Amino acid sequence: MHHARRTRKQAPKSGGAGSQPGASTRLPTGRRLRAASASVLALALGAGLLLSPAPVAHADAIWDRWQAADKAVNAGNPAAAVPHWKFLVDHYAAAGDWQNAALFSGRLNTYFDSAGDYEQAIVYYERENEYWLKDGKDWGAVDLQRAEQIRTTVEAYISTSDTEALRKRGLPAHGKLSKFEPDYGMYIGMYTERDPKMLNYFDRSESIYGKKHALYLAYSQVGKPFPKAYADRAKQAGAGLQIAWEPMNGLDAVTDAAVRQWAKEAKAAGLPIFLRYASEMNGNWVPWHGDSDKYIRNFRMVHDIMAQEAPNVAMVWSPGDVPMYSMDAYYPGDDYVDWVGVSLYSEPYENGDPNQGNMQGTSPVERLDYLYSTYADRKPLMISETAVSHYANVPKESFTAYGTLNLQRLYGIMPYKYPRLKSVTYFNVNLEMTESKNNYLLRDNEAMMGLYQKLIAPPYYLTKVEQGVRPADHAGFVPLTSDAVFYKQATITPFIKIPDIYIGKVEYLLNGKLIGTQTAPPYGVQVKAGDVPAGSTLGIVVYNEAGKQAAVKTFSIESGIAITLDGKDVAFEQPPVIREGNTLAPIRAIFEAMGATVEWNASTRTATAKKGPTTVSVTAGSREAFVGGRSQILEVPAQLIGGSTMVPARFASEAFGGAVGWDGASRTVQIRSDGKKSAAAVSIASVKPETVMSSTAIPSDSAAPSSRGWFGWLKQQLGRLSGLWERFA
């Protein structure tokens, strides 16, 4: 069973903006490490131990600064102490006196935090952490946690079907997938044993959550029998199994014989198994903590036996998210680890107790940063055990807003921000008055249950463990940056974090026009390509619960021109482009989609396509093309762009008898191979100037051109007459 939850070694900095919803100027309180630092400073002052090792005259100047700061604080004017503290931080940092530099950074971050000057507070929280590390202590981890609590963040992720881009983001640096690793996408998993409606009947998942899960979590102890009943039910449900295998009698009790017998039974189970052996080893709440060398030898032994006896087992090394800096000492090495996991819980109070620390300002997102930056370039990551509390059982306090906010961050942000995060297992339990004393059980909160069902519904959330698997719709999300181009329509999902914690309202403005407003998760907005002309911007404006603007950020956004053939998207390496008011399309992509073969003659720069009795040839730089031996004059010359031969979209569509239409709402060239007009085709008169596809906006030949297209249409007709004249003269 799940062992008792731990008390974090690095206590969070409660109070300030993170102490209560909307509290932005309270003095942080209950900081165990900060209090310890203050005590060290006071003792050092009394003992006269913190004087600079510099010459006496200079030391007197430092002491004067110190006394001036203390005098200002004692007079109730800490603002007057700030310049002195800044001077002292810089002085001690330059002298390499990291302890004093850290302690005075602590004075500054505490002051700026209490004053609501979060930007400067973040600077000195980060500096304090830096100086403690240089002093050989991990005391600053709590400073980083507090810095993240008060950091204003507005990021955005946009949906895409660019499988190559998604695949590249999901690959490790060496380019080889690990055992059971998806190409991209994320396995969803769940611990269900203490959900009274589901228990370990894993085949009930679809009826409860609207979707199967890829894997289920079971706990087992070394020395006890292999959990065959769990494996049988997971196999029946078409799922894999994550097994938290715990040496409760210590590492010395883990023998070759016991491991080998267990491995043989694991192989006989006949399903993918993620073996999370001796997890959370970096915490002193487990009996296998303490001797990292012994732990590594033990883990490697288990790995080697599994490799010999149970090829269906992937080894998962899974520390707790805290203590942060002590986990690396336990890493067994890349050759012995298939996946790197982590236990990571989101709860409003530390261990369910308001007196231990307020955690409402901490989101799950940034807590993965250290593990991700350290291991993701080599190994896929899983959050092997996680949950979001919606109710604190000790104070009997409901936290639905906290729960939904962080549930979306966990499932709707983290897989996109961290593309090597490829599995998340939810610990679906109400712990009542045991362990963490938080209620994570989704079914106990209607909003949490509904949001979870909605979040895992897209195919990106994978339901079957398979090597190299991809989402069925080949879609995912990438950061919304200036080079991110979307086609047809896209969903934009923001990651928002403000010092006030809770979000009152989010507004979305496209080119300054309000297109959406939301007051609750899941946050996100859809945009259509036809509404996004060149040079467009998307603004995201965030308000706190009091209605005050808390953050605003503007992103560049760009749509591209899509091409469909008989309703299916045409894939192309070089996207269509607009030149001189004409849409140029990649001739090879369209012709091959229509069943033609295409050859390229580099010496003549000519592309030749054949389908049945018809041959089409186009030469880069020339306006003249030939279809079945007959000359046709193109509206603009064929061009080489990005290594592809590009021609006007109408010509490419009609050369082999296709019919073409234009959907302005999605900026899509619609081709029908049977030559029939698409029902979605629109007349050129309705096409906006900024979305013009060609000089005639790809209408049918008989359609009347718009005033904007008259000149191009006339040029086309004259060109055709000229070609006929030359042919028959």
Amino acid at residue number 507 = E
Please pick, among 130, 350, 366, 385, the residue that the annotation labels catalytic.
385
Identity of the amino acid at 301: M
Question: Which residue bears the tokens 């808390």?
Answer: 550
Which ranges constitute the DSSP H helices of 187-227? 205-209
Closest C-alpha to 244, from 95, 385, 47? 385
CB-based contacts of 43, cutoff 8 Å, min separation 6: none
Written as one letter, the residue type at 97 is D
The two tokens of residue 241 are 């199994």
d(CA 286, CA 104): 36
Q: Which residues contact 413 (CB under 8 A, 6 or more apart)?
A: 157, 365, 493, 495
- Inter-residue contact 569 to 663 (CB < 8 Å): no
> Which one from 128, 181, 246, 280 is the annotated catalytic residue?
280
Q: Are 448 and 407 in contact (CB under 8 A)?
A: yes
What is d(CA 364, CA 352) in angstroms, rounded to the nearest whole number?
A: 16
Distance of CA 37 to the CA centre of its chain: 35
For 633: left if phi > 0, alpha if psi spans -120 to 50, otherwise beta; the answer is beta
The residue among 565, 566, 582, 584 whose CA lies nearest residue 574 is 584
Q: Any catalytic annotation for residue 280? A: yes
The rounded distance, in Å, linking the Cα atoms of 685 and 666 is: 17
∠ at Cα 185 (179, 186), nearest 5°?
75
- The amino acid at 208: I
Q: What is the DSSP string of 47-114?
A: HT----SS-HHHHHHHHHHHHHHHHHHHTT-GGGGHHHHHHHHHHHHHTT-HHHHHHHHHHHHHHHHH
For residue 34, the number of C-alpha atoms closer than 13 Å in the C-beta half-sphere is 24
| Whole-number Å distance between alpha carbons of 721 and 116 | 75
Copy the structure tokens of residue 722.
């000229």
d(CA 403, CA 417): 20
Residue 346 CA to residue 342 CA, distance in Å, equals 13
CA distance linking residue 160 with residue 487, whole number of Å: 8
3-state SS, residue 245? strand
Cα-based angle 433, 285, 262 (whole degrees, multiple of 5)? 100
For the CA atoms of the chain, what is the radius of gyration? 31
User: What angle do helix axes 118-134 and 98-115 make, rounded to 10 degrees?
Assistant: 160
**Secondary structure E strands in 356-480:** 381-388, 391-392, 397-398, 421-427, 438-439, 461-462, 476-479
Contact criterion met (CB below 8 Å) for 195 and 428: yes
Residue 605's contacts (CB-CB under 8 Å, 6 or more residues apart) are 619, 620, 621, 640
First-to-last C-alpha distance (Å) of the chain? 92
- Tell me the three state secondary structure of residue 213: coil
Answer for the pair 266, 310: CB distance below 8 angstroms, yes or no.
Answer: yes
d(CA 354, CA 46): 34
Contact 652, 677 (CB under 8 A): no
Q: Write out the catalytic residue numbers.
A: 280, 385
